[in-house]
Amino acid sequence: MEEAATDVVVSDSVRANGTDLMLGVDATAYDVSVAEVEKGGVSTGTEIRVISTPDSCGPNYYPEGDQLDTPGPLRLYLFKNDQGTFQTLSPFDGVEPAA
């Protein structure tokens, strides 16, 4: 996943904060506190907004559950979309427990 990501961060604080339009649907947005930066230009100690990429092909946008709705700490594999907002790589990839 790291190769596909422009930014890789570790966070111990991920809080849902509304939705953003992505792929024509309301996708869940999160405020993420950056505890560690492994790749990219994000600064440690900052808070970034991350959109959990939805699966817009069916009626359930998160058929396996929203991967960001997981207790931390988490390692996030991200890229910036056309609007300049971070998002997970896909509905199924981009989040793993931080060891």
User: Would you place residue 10 in the very low, low, confident or very high pLDDT band (cuts 50, 70, 90)?
Assistant: very high
Q: List pLDDT tens digits, range 43-94.
A: 999 999 999 999 988 778 888 899 999 988 999 999 998 888 999 999 999 9
Number of domains in the chain: 1
pTM of the full structure: 0.92
Residue at token pair 């199924």: 92
The domain in which residue 27 lies consists of 7-97
Please tell me the distance from the alpha carbon of residue 62 to that of residue 41, in angstroms, as a whole number: 28
Quick check: is 48 in a domain?
A: yes
CB 94 within 8 A of CB 76: yes
Does residue 33 lie in a domain region? yes
Q: What is the DSSP string of 37-86?
A: EEESSPPTT-EEEEE----TTSS-SSTT--TTSS-S-EEEEEEE-TTS-E
